[in-house]
Chains A and B, each alone.
Chain A
Amino acid sequence: MDIVGFFGKKLEEKTGIKEIACKGMIRLAFRDAGIDSSTFKIDEYKKVFSKNLKIRFEKSGIDNPNALADYMVSELIKNQGLFTMSA
């Protein structure tokens, strides 16, 4: 299961930006954090979404980067069961 792909799709639904770019954005945030994006650890995802992804959103100039990062964290909390179920 491609968990980054799952959250990339969520980001696409929220922003209307192509899925491939959304997935790429999440991967870039993982790279910035020095964390392997194949992780199953929800706390690592949370750290990346709330910090590194937010910084990436800010750098990109997209509207409401904070709200967008918060949305990703809320989707993460909502779908946390997926980490265990897809392991």
Chain B
Amino acid sequence: MSSASHPSAPGSDSGNGIVSRHRNGSAPASLVVRDLQHWFGSGANRRQVLDRVSLTIRPGEVVLLTGPSGCGKTTLLTLVGALRQVMAGSVQLFGLELHGAARSERQLLRRQIGMIFQGHNLLRCLSAEQNVQMGADLLPGLGYRARRDLSRQWLRAVGLGDHLGKLPHDLSGGQKQRVAIARALAAQPRLLLADEPTAALDSRTGREVVELLRRLARDQGCSVLMVTHDPRILDVADRLVEMEDGRLSEASISGRTLSGSVG
């Protein structure tokens, strides 16, 4: 776990046995992005939003992505999340190339990606428990009871054991976001994508939610790529990357990284 938190570019990890075995981006690196480019619009209106972006995330690693709004962070997230067709460059998820992948392949891959949104995006007509079970229902070969128990466990893990039957309407913002985390993790993802999960929360709740997210993801060996503007939560990251005008650069987060990996 601590080896994965080394704050450096993928190529420089050659000294580490675990990583070097898979350094060509095959199996264990959760995500390898190389020279990814993306445009919106067409013809004269064509605008480049991603410019030769490269990024590697190893299992269990928590990577924070910051940058001014409109710089392409969310686009990167949707590409990595197999929600959009890759135009140029390469995105490898768990060793599978997304460039040229069919819609159905991407849809199957998405089952291994947990997503947490700015708005919680819970289903309004389902209780907290049922919402989480929508995540657990994606797991193959589990009976209804097993899936329900699983979702209850996850709700307890996020501290909502007393709110199983409540509708999203009756939960606070922080509670809803925690349900969303439980839902994302209930599908046992190998990569968690989060888009400003603290945007709608006050600072204390936001802090709690992010720490919870990191702890649970780590326990699962699940990597995290989180977009955030919130300077107060940067220290939970193993690695911090900054994006500006469609380009990615490794940011220095000084001593924070170390304290993050210890905690």
To the question of whether A and B form a pair in one complex, the answer is no
